[in-house]
Structure 1
Amino acid sequence: MADGRFVAYYRVSTERQGKSGLGLDAQKKAVADYLNGGDWSLVGEFTDIESGKNNERPGLAQAIERAKLTGATLVIAKLDRLSRNAGFLMNLRDAGVEFVAVDLPNANRLTVGIMALVAEQEREAISARTKAALAAAKARGAKLGGFRAGARPDPAKGLAGIKSKADDFAARVLPVVREIQASGVASLNGLAGELTKRGIKTARGGSWTAASVKNLLAR
């Protein structure tokens, strides 16, 4: 019996499967069965359609982002088929969100980290070799990039950084706002209430108001 907010993540291996629902319907049923009973809400569902050659998982990134925004638990329908993919496992381990795998309910950050240990060790070995090569180059007198002593900070760059962070936050939250609008909520107060209800904070960590929603939509 599940309680709280959840974000579901599904994965099918081909575009044909994604369009036909083959595999996807079974994963959705598995998640629904897991959530059956209790006081829960599903605040997002994301799917990746990929072949074995594709290591990019935009759906997983979106699912993790939604879980972070809402404080929800990530529900993964099928972890076993992804258990050999070190990149996926390391992203999951380092995501900073709670998760549960329906088909491997005992999986946690520790076991996922162990699964990815070999790949991580190889990555660290590559990093160590790179650092050693840079150190050797520096010892030979090679000029490496870096901060120039005495350089003054550029205020324009500081403002650009603040604007960039605000734009990034807006880009993360706007998809949620569009979902709420699509459900029939149109007023600024209504949107603010729905964002608050979903556990999403403003960029400064506060509660949403009509004015803050208006500013978000204006970006």
Structure 2
Amino acid sequence: MNLIAYYRVSTDKQGRSGLGLAAQESAVQQHAASGGHRIVAQFVEVESGKRADRPQLAAALAACRLHRATLCIAKLDRLARNLAFVANLMESGTDFVAVDNPTANRLTIHLLAAIAEHEREMISQRTKAALAAAKARGVRLGNPNGAAALLPGCHEAAAKSATRRQEAATKRAFAIAPVLVELAESGIVGAAAQARELNLRGIPAPKGGVWYPALIRRMRTRRALDQI
């Protein structure tokens, strides 16, 4: 079996330090070795489990379709703590396996995802209740110096966010580059024609939607694709 490995951590700090990634990678590699499977590609996402718009996961799913591979994750909660997201993923037709429960069927995965989502909601409710209780006791919440004290940090965060978006866009361009090269070599060179072919193949656009010519042209502006 061909496997596409997908690893996720929740913070930039975890991503830079490798905290959590090493354990996930080890688990997936052991699973592949024990079953005689081959890991075709690996994708790493730094994103909160609450969000469903994950470019690296979209790229991993596209790779699964291209290689007729199975998406492999170390633990179900690394994929999502959102029942609707897991359900939509399952309905997409892409097979996936969680190393911590490789024999789980569709019903089992739905139940585990529902439990994970409920746990996330309970944590959120407890946090809100604790903040409300502290406020009722007269505890001042937030920065006592007001919003002005946050401006330097906001500017720095905005710059970092822009850098991350640029890096993510470049990674998406690299991920789709081999497919666009293949299309160009087969005579499908126009942006409209390539967008139509990607949609026919069921390869999702970076944010999970459909491809359109303008998006193909934007991909080409990336250095990874300037020869296509």
TM-score using structure 2 length: 0.48
| Larger relative contact order (CA 8 Å, sep ≥ 6) | 2
Larger radius of gyration: 1
Q: Indicate the structure with greater helix content.
A: 2
